[in-house]
Structure 1
Amino acid sequence: MIISVLYVLQLQGRFILIDMTKDQLRKLYRAQRNSLSIEEKQAYNSNLLEQLKTFEWEQYTYVHVYIPLEKFNEPDTIPFISWIREYSPHIHLVTSQSDFETGEMKHYLLEDTTQLVENHWGILEPLVGEAIAEEMLDVILVPLLVVDSRGNRVGYGKGFYDRFMGKCRADVLTIGISFYDVVPKITDVSEWDIPLKCCVTPNKIYYF
């Protein structure tokens, strides 16, 4: 597999892990994710949903979710959205509209009647809706490619979620969603990068 070739280095007959930059990890895990078969994605997404079900959702009121970008093979949140609506109807789901000129996100209730339209990146976003302030959010599901052992994530490099999370309450639960287990260390973490509280993968939940 790609990861076994690029992420480990053989030295004097022993294999050692190599710490990598965001760009290196972004290229590596994009290629890895894009190579997944339909069957692999279905299995990973099914396991992710089962992991998400284990959280104590009854204690939360406002949960921010992302709408997956299919062309990037993002982990699918739609089954989770359906499950929350059925089993935790007290929860208000929230999703975002992105402004690519300012790098900011606006947040709206995601209801059954919410009309979603594609932006120029192909991301489905609410056209209109009831605005929700960042301070109201209890949980944020965060898309990413991979995360390191300290909760630092590799996204798409635009900084939307770091700016977004920086406006939220200190006690907001940020849950990364990834197909892949954590890597030891991202070498070029910036002072404005905001680490996650935890990350859900098909194999386990990591807490940071």
Structure 2
Amino acid sequence: MKNRLREEILQKRKELSEEERQKKSAKITATLRGSARYEKAETLFTFISMDKEVNTYPLIEQAWQDGKKVAVPIAKAKGEMYFVPIDSFSELKKSRFGVMEPEKEKEESIIPKETDVFLVPGSVFDQKGNRYGYGGGFYDRFFEKYPSIFKIAVAFSFQVMDFDLQVEAFDKPVDCIITEDGLIGGF
């Protein structure tokens, strides 16, 4: 069930036209940027969008213009992940996992504060904030270590189901979801 639903939604996302993806992504970014949480945040912790995910590149550029730090994840073997600051997209290279990452060591990593904005990717969500990622468990392990992080998912509205997802005990829900149609959950 879980894998079939994930595949179905990812296929739907893949079929999104680039114009539609950009339009919906811009609405999501505007909602986030208009929030008090974004205003107060010192650092934007975000994934680097790939495939047909919500486009995070314009948001990252805006965060730099707004004087915020930007931190992005580096995934290692055995599900380990840490976040490092970047000052430019030129620092990014394609990793062995096929995602764009900076080439930085764990010693350069930074830990999110409760007031920072922390964006979470995913394939499928429900109204309660439960999520299916991409199957690696990287974010769930990270949240296990840092449970006080306020987790914000950014997704297209068709990725949010009207029924409860079947999740495991180790799956960590997000605190809110921003779609092009608005906000689900508290901010």
TM-score (norm 2): 0.88
Once the two structures are TM-superposed, the CA of residue 42 in structure 1 deviates from its matched residue by 1.9
1:31-59, CA deviations, whole angstroms, 9 ceiling, x for partnerless residues? 10011112211211121111111222232
Provide the aligned C-alpha RMSD in A.
2.0
Q: 1:203 to 1:127 in 2, by over 3 A?
A: same
Amino acid at match of 1:37: S
The residue matched to 2:108 in structure 1 has which SS? coil
Q: Aligned to 2:96, which of 105, 120, 138? A: 120
Aligned to 2:137: 159
Aligned to 2:128: 150
Aligned to 2:64: 85
Q: Aligned to 1:168, which of 146, 155, 161? A: 146
User: Which structure has more helix as a fraction of its residues?
Assistant: 2
Is 2:4 the counterpart of 1:24?
A: yes
Once the two structures are TM-superposed, the CA of residue 146 in structure 1 deviates from its matched residue by 2.3
Once the two structures are TM-superposed, the CA of residue 113 in structure 1 deviates from its matched residue by 7.5
Distance in 2 (alpha carbons) for counterparts of 1:110 and 1:186:
36
Is 2:42 the counterpart of 1:66?
A: no
Distance in 1 (alpha carbons) for counterparts of 2:39 and 2:154:
20
Aligned to 2:182: 204
TM-score (norm 1): 0.80
Q: 1:114 to 1:131 in 2, by over 3 A?
A: farther
Moved more, 60-69 or 196-205: 60-69
Paired residues, what number? 182
The residue matched to 1:117 in structure 2 has which SS? strand
Q: 1:45 to 1:102 in 2, by over 3 A?
A: same
1:38-81, CA deviations, whole angstroms, 9 ceiling, x for partnerless residues? 22112111211111112222322232111111xx3111101101
Structure (1 or 2) with the larger CA radius of gyration:
1
CA contact (8 A) 1:134 1:167 kept: no
The residue matched to 1:134 in structure 2 has which SS? coil
CA contact (8 A) 2:120 2:153 kept: yes
Extract unaligned runs of 5+ from structure 1: 1-20
**Percent identity between the two aligned chains:** 29
